[in-house]
Structure 1
Amino acid sequence: MKEPMTDARRKQLYRIKKRKRRKQCIRVALRMAVLCFLVLFAVQKTADLLRVDDSDRMEDAEQSYSGQGGKTRTNTEKTWGVFGKADVLTQEDKLHSIEESDEYPDQLKELAEKNSETIDFVYDYPEMKDKKQTIDLSQEAKTDTVPLLLQWDERWGYMPYSGGLLGYTGCGPTNLAMVVLYLTGDKTVTPASVAEYAESAGYSVPGSGSSWTLISEGCEHYGIHAEEVPMDEDRIKAKLDEGCLIIINVGPGDFTDSGHFITIIGYDRDGFIINDSNSRTNSKKRWSYEQLSRQMRNLWAMYN
């Protein structure tokens, strides 16, 4: 007859089973660790092979591009991660590439160095400069607010203007285009079309940008009138209250090292609201009259 199991024996068997299960778990964990290591090792080797193959193809393409067997960093070059994935270049990488390359005009290099907002625009120049752009400002023409148009928008920023590129010298046409687009709703008026008109009518100044007469006289071509406004805060606000927009020419200061056009589109208790065709950041700020007045050189109230 089988003897009944004592509590001590039962506890002993439980401990034995527990130790066995623990050993089994350890063995399974070790096998999984080895398997994971082998998989990662295989992936790494595959990535290395792909990276070498891609580097060879890039080198062949670069040698073909330069014509002399030398390497030219192209606009599509990327850095490569540990698993062979293309990493997006940082703004610092792009700026360094711009500064080191001969593909960029000096004006664009200067633009990228002075205004970090323009780095992507400048970096894309070799690839985009000869592409025909479709410009459709239908949505901008429908808005209830003055649309912010940027002179370095890729849709028009690479076109020649005033001895340079519109993205660098085109603040005059871009500000006038904003005003005309808002006051008339004419979606065919773009910075590109205004720049073409300015050059044909003699309002561009080679190497400098646009003359003041593009604003004071050239606006009539679009059915817009310009009236000089005294440099007085109350007079400026009064014109804005009448529904006018105010185009300002400013000298060296917060907006430029030389000369620049900006547009005052309104005001509130925090200051004046502007559209700066060279900076989204400046356009989001509020500006006091004191800040603007020390840089103002002339002002025109624009109306139709």
Structure 2
Amino acid sequence: MKNKNKDLNMNQNNPIANENDAMDPNDLFAPDWKEKSLSRTRRRQERIKRHDQDYEPLAHSVPSKQESKDIVQIDPSVLQQDQNSTKQKDLDETIEQATIASKLESSMNQAGTKTHKRPFLVPALLLSVALIGSSLGVSWYLGKDATGNTLATLYEEEKTQYNDYANTIHSLTKPEGWSDQAFENLKFAALQAYDQSQLNTLSLALEGNIDAKAQADHLTSVSSQNGIEAFKNLFTKPDSIPMNVINVAEHEDMIDFVMSYGQSAAIDPNQVTLGDVTQQMPDLKTFDPAWGYIDYGIGCFAANGAAPTVIADVFSFCLDDPTLTPYRVAQWANEAGYALNPVVSADNNIVLAASGQFGVNLNPLLNYSTLITDQIAYGYPVILITGTIEAPYFYAVYGLDEAGNWLAYDPLSASSPVVLNPEQTEQTLIKAYALW
């Protein structure tokens, strides 16, 4: 009884126990328990969704208690399908979020790359602008002369002047009576007479040459070309120089002689003397302006006066007569008929005739080099006539070199004396004379 009362008191003091004592065991799995279990499962799923979805809000909210109460029973298979579907959606959303995150990271990396490149790009751009500006400044400075005109403009003017002159020379027509060779030689000399030094200086200055720039700073106008004036005058008035003189230009080394005609033609050859001829035989030239322009033979004395010039060399020395010039010998030769034909034969030539005319002793030599060398060694001047009778060449031999060669004056050559090999000269020898 005591125990029974005790149990009764315990049950009264524990309401839950009292209720359980009255509940059927099946009531443990009543709908209200299942409802609460489903609610907890969904809430856990929703929390997972909210944790994974960083960029969009939940598409639906947690069901309320009232809605939960309306769910009476759920099939376990349906619950499993729902869970699988939820997992697939979660997986898809996770992949989408990973893709978005990857794109975002890539975009941020690109932005970072541009940000890193910019510090290099901007200074490089500024440096390029600075260099271009400096180049333009230098070009502007180099292109200015003392008057403010650009050197480039001055260069173009100088180049135009030269091109115009060159084109004029190239387009010339040969005047009547001029030989082809003389015409070509004079055209070439005319081009060479143009002073291109200022043109070259301006060109170098524009290329940045410092020394040329220093010289170009003082240039204010195109160069005056005084050296070409004589050629311009000649080609404009081809009869301003006698044709006989013009054709002497067939020999390139006679160009200066031809172009000096205007300054030297007025010399009176009768007033010219040879100076001191007592100590050394003079080395006279056919193209000396004192007598070179006179008519002689079939042309100009400069081209045809070799024989009178050699005779004047030797005879003036033998006679100690400075007045016995080539001009005087030429006057006699014209009268005696030797101007056109200086060598009629080996024993009838201008040298043999002149010895009698001017009173110089003469000794004809056999055409043996050893005999001629002996006479030269004894101190006698020797006149040699070489070549052919139709085209003779004259030398005045005055000595020997260490090898025994003959030292001679060539009346047609500026490079005198010349050295003649005795054996070779003997092969073309027409006549040789020793004089005293």
Report the TM-score, using the length of structure 1 for normalisation: 0.65
Match of residue 320, structure 2, among 174, 185, 196: 185
Deviation string for 1:185-227 (max 9, x for gaps)? 2111100111112223x14243x44665431132233331112
Please state if 1:204 is matched with 2:319: no
Contact 2:384–2:433 (8 Å) recurs in 1:
yes
Cα distance, 1:239–1:80 mapped onto 2, change above 3 Å? closer
Cross-structure match for 1:244? 380
Cross-structure match for 1:300? 433
Q: Offset of 1:85 from its aligned partner?
A: 3.6
Question: Match of 1:204, SS?
Answer: coil
Separation in structure 2 between the aligned mates of residue 80 and residue 171 of structure 1, nearest angstrom: 34
Cα distance, 1:80–1:293 mapped onto 2, change above 3 Å? closer
Q: Offset of 1:86 from its aligned partner?
A: 2.3
Separation in structure 1 between the aligned mates of residue 390 and residue 424 of structure 2, nearest angstrom: 16
Matches within 5 A, 1:255-274: 258-268=391-401, 269-274=403-408
Please state if 1:279 is matched with 2:394: no
Q: Offset of 1:161 from its aligned partner?
A: 1.6
Cross-structure match for 2:144? 38
Separation in structure 2 between the aligned mates of residue 35 and residue 244 of structure 1, nearest angstrom: 72
Q: Offset of 1:300 from its aligned partner?
A: 1.2
Separation in structure 2 between the aligned mates of residue 163 and residue 236 of structure 1, nearest angstrom: 32
Deviation string for 1:19-40 (max 9, x for gaps)? xxxxxxxx99987864442217
Higher strand share: 1
Q: Offset of 1:242 from its aligned partner?
A: 3.0
Matches within 5 A, 1:74-223: 79=194, 81=196, 82=199, 83-86=222-225, 88=227, 108=245, 111-113=248-250, 115-125=251-261, 128-132=264-268, 135-139=272-276, 141-142=277-278, 144-200=279-335, 202-206=336-340, 208-209=341-342, 212-223=348-359
Question: Match of 2:316, SS?
Answer: helix
Q: Offset of 1:149 from its aligned partner?
A: 0.6
Question: Match of 1:238, SS?
Answer: helix
Match of residue 224, structure 1, among 351, 357, 360: 360
Separation in structure 2 between the aligned mates of residue 30 and residue 106 of structure 1, nearest angstrom: 57
Q: Which runs of 5+ in 1 are unaligned?
A: 1-26, 60-72
Letter in 2 for 1:232: Y
Contact 2:296–2:339 (8 Å) recurs in 1:
no
Q: Offset of 1:240 from its aligned partner?
A: 1.7
Contact 1:170–1:195 (8 Å) recurs in 2:
yes
Separation in structure 2 between the aligned mates of residue 126 and residue 159 of structure 1, nearest angstrom: 13
Letter in 2 for 1:191: P
Separation in structure 1 between the aligned mates of residue 253 and residue 305 of structure 2, nearest angstrom: 16
For the pair shown, the structure with the greater C-alpha radius of gyration is 2
Higher helix share: 2
Question: Match of 1:155, SS?
Answer: coil
Q: Which runs of 5+ in 2 are unaligned?
A: 1-132, 169-185, 200-221
Letter in 2 for 1:37: G
Contact 2:264–2:290 (8 Å) recurs in 1:
no
Report the TM-score, using the length of structure 2 for normalisation: 0.47
Cα distance, 1:258–1:230 mapped onto 2, change above 3 Å? same
Cα distance, 1:86–1:215 mapped onto 2, change above 3 Å? same
Separation in structure 2 between the aligned mates of residue 191 and residue 260 of structure 1, nearest angstrom: 16
Separation in structure 1 between the aligned mates of residue 392 and residue 244 of structure 2, nearest angstrom: 15
Deviation string for 1:116-157 (max 9, x for gaps)? 322211333466445545523114x25x33221111111111
Percent of aligned pairs with the same amino acid:
19
